[in-house]
Amino acid sequence: MVSGGGAAGTPAVVIAAPSSGSGKTTVATGLIGALTRAGHRVAPFKVGPDFIDPGYHAVAAGRPGRNLDPNLVGAHRVPGLFAAGSRGADIAVIEGVMGLFDGRIADDADDGAMPTGHAHGSTAHVAALLGAPVVIVVDASGHSQTLAAILHGMRSFDTDVDICGVILNRVGSPRHEHVLRQACDRVGLPVFAVLRRAPELVVPSRHLGLIPAAEHGGAAQTAVAAMTELVAATADLSAIVAAARARTPRPAAAWSADDEIADARERLGLSAPQRPVRVAVAGGAAFTFGYAEHAEMLAAAGAEVVTVDPMNDRLPPGTDALIIGGGFPEEHVHALAANTPMLADVAAHARSGRPIHAECAGLLYLAHDLDGHTMAGVVDVRGHFGPTLTLGYRDAVALTDSALFAAGDRITGHEFHRSTVEAIGPIDHAWAWRKAGVVHRDGVAAGTVHASYLHTHPAGAPDSVARLVATAAAAAEGEDRHDGDVGTVLPCLDQSLT
């Protein structure tokens, strides 16, 4: 095995591109796999809120893929989350998002301010926060000598970002490669790899991007192996490792779930539960979206975390709280609807006053029905899958006290869905935010049920994790039971958003 340094100073390389669609995921996943095969302990990361790419990274690395998103967790947490996530690794590979300097659009931010040449939450922003070098992946299919000007512009645009080399992707011929290498030489950037066009590497996708690795099963393993072979066959791994080690990320104290929960309890005046609280987290093929830090923070708060597959399982005995995150319930709606014992368990859990936290796909699962298929009926809404994509960060304020948030709490979350919901009962929204001068409302907080379209990162909202576990512990001890029907809820979007 290759030896390496401590987690706080783990060498890293950021895989970026001039634009989306350049092949970052193929290159990053293949590089992770090639380095792992060569004996390195690789820590994989993804810039931004994406849940899907980290799943492929995890297959390649044999350890969880993690996200670095300044919008969701705050820029101040990014170095610590990197240090914690790279513990035990000798190199980290960080896949960027969109183009190198693309991030949150200024009109969506409260103040619209950009501190440097990069947008907030962009790949460049994260690279600058960490002090990590950047490798540019170029989709060479439409490039020739002008590539030199593009690379020159990217290098000079933001002096906080250190571009250290190029990977040429989708190169057509030896002559094409020669011209592109000349362009890179002209601006003094080494070429670390040249990847030929390989349509067999295309991973099946659908309406929201790649199919999650957890759903894709053996085909995901095959795709990752092919990416690894492609990169390993042409990449100068030693040069990439040397570039990473030449500018080791600045040391930072590793983020700690225990510290976050301890601080949250102190702020909220909460004590640790007297016994472990059993928290069931939805998994399986229908619910694949989640951040690795969530289970770590739940455990730090005193939870025993168990995974349950709503397509095949029953709610585990003694479940004190239920978390249903994002995913693709519309792709598995028949199996979800067919598991009527689980649907009944979830409805009974809600009626008992034990908390449920549902995000996006979880909201649809709690609905009365999804495109005519009976769901849990915990919230009075019908879900519909449609053609319109709702996407973007939201600076939201909590409108109602709940098992996770207090009215007035502020958080940045992310929407990413092609479904809408139609209210069939009273509206009691959980969130509000302003976009383009218009106030939008989303979700519901009814009793101990909190459901909305908004994806949140628990590291950016530690108080919500501490509150959830405390509420579950109180309900289990019989101190805060809610009798009757808590399911008279919610359209999660105003009509203006549907």
Residue 160 falls within a domain, yes or no? Answer: yes
- Out of 246, 277, 311, a domain closes at 246
Q: Are 36 and 273 in contact (CB under 8 A)?
A: no
Burial class, 247, CB count within 10 angstroms (exposed 0-12 / middle 13-18 / buried 19+): middle
- Out of 206, 227, 246, a domain closes at 246
We report the CATH number of the domain holding residue 294 as 3.40.50.880
* pTM reported for the whole predicted model: 0.90
pLDDT digits (tens, 9 = 90+) for 176-188: 999 999 999 999 9
pLDDT digits (tens, 9 = 90+) for 318-355: 999 999 999 999 889 999 999 999 999 999 999 999 99
pLDDT digits (tens, 9 = 90+) for 29-41: 999 999 999 999 9
Average pLDDT over residues 462-480: 89
Q: Count CB neighbours of 304 within 10 A.
A: 15
Instruction: Give the percent of the chain with pLDDT over 90.
Output: 78
Instruction: Give the percent of the chain with pLDDT over 70.
Output: 88
Long-range contacts made by residues 458-461, C-beta under 8 angstroms, separation at least 24? 458/291, 458/293, 458/294, 458/297, 459/72, 459/73, 459/77, 459/81, 459/255, 459/260, 459/291, 459/293, 459/297, 460/72, 460/73, 460/74, 460/77, 460/411, 460/412, 461/404, 461/405, 461/411
- Helix intervals (H) in 302-439: 333-338, 340-351, 361-366
pLDDT value at residue 335: 97
pLDDT digits (tens, 9 = 90+) for 157-176: 999 999 999 999 999 999 99
Mean pLDDT score of the chain: 89
Same domain, 205 and 340: no
For helices 462-476 and 292-300, angle between their N-to-C axes, nearest 10 degrees:
50
Same domain, 277 and 357: yes
pLDDT digits (tens, 9 = 90+) for 189-204: 999 999 998 665 656 5
Domain range enclosing 351? 257-497
pLDDT value at residue 253: 94
Whether residue 492 is predicted with pLDDT greater than 80 in this model: the reply is: no
Q: How far apart are the first and last CA of the chain?
A: 53
Q: Are 180 and 168 in contact (CB under 8 A)?
A: yes
User: Is 360 in the active site?
Assistant: yes
Domain count, the chain: 2
pLDDT value at residue 211: 65
We report the CATH number of the domain holding residue 150 as 3.40.50.300
pLDDT tier, 220 (very low <50, low <70, confident <90, very high otherwise): confident
pLDDT value at residue 491: 34
Residue 380 falls within a domain, yes or no? Answer: yes
Residue 341 falls within a domain, yes or no? Answer: yes
276: alpha, beta or left? (left if phi > 0; alpha if psi -120 to 50):
beta
Same domain, 273 and 239: no
Which residues does 387 contact at the CB level (< 8 Å), separation at least 6? Answer: 418
In terms of pLDDT, which residue wins out, 484 or 304?
A: 304
Same domain, 299 and 190: no
pLDDT value at residue 219: 78
Same domain, 39 and 165: yes
Whether residue 107 is predicted with pLDDT greater than 70 in this model: the reply is: no
Dihedral (CA of 290, 291, 292, 293) sign: negative
DSSP label at residue 187 = T
Same domain, 280 and 231: no
DSSP label at residue 179 = H
Whether residue 254 is predicted with pLDDT greater than 50 in this model: the reply is: yes
pLDDT tier, 144 (very low <50, low <70, confident <90, very high otherwise): very high
Residue 1 falls within a domain, yes or no? Answer: no
Q: Are 475 and 467 in contact (CB under 8 A)?
A: no
- Out of 227, 246, 265, a domain closes at 246
Query: Considering only 42-56, 240-254, 393-407, 484-498, which range has the smallest mean pLDDT?
Result: 484-498
pLDDT tier, 116 (very low <50, low <70, confident <90, very high otherwise): low
Distance (Å, rounded) from C-alpha 335 to C-alpha 312? Answer: 8
Q: Count CB neighbours of 50 within 10 A.
A: 20
pLDDT digits (tens, 9 = 90+) for 5-31: 333 489 999 999 999 999 999 999 999
Distance (Å, rounded) from C-alpha 82 to C-alpha 457? Answer: 15
Residue 252 falls within a domain, yes or no? Answer: no
- Helix intervals (H) in 43-197: 53-61, 70-73, 78-85, 123-130, 147-157, 174-186
Same domain, 170 and 218: yes
pLDDT digits (tens, 9 = 90+) for 266-293: 999 999 999 999 999 999 999 999 999 9
Same domain, 169 and 42: yes
Whether residue 123 is predicted with pLDDT greater than 90 in this model: the reply is: yes
Residue 270 falls within a domain, yes or no? Answer: yes
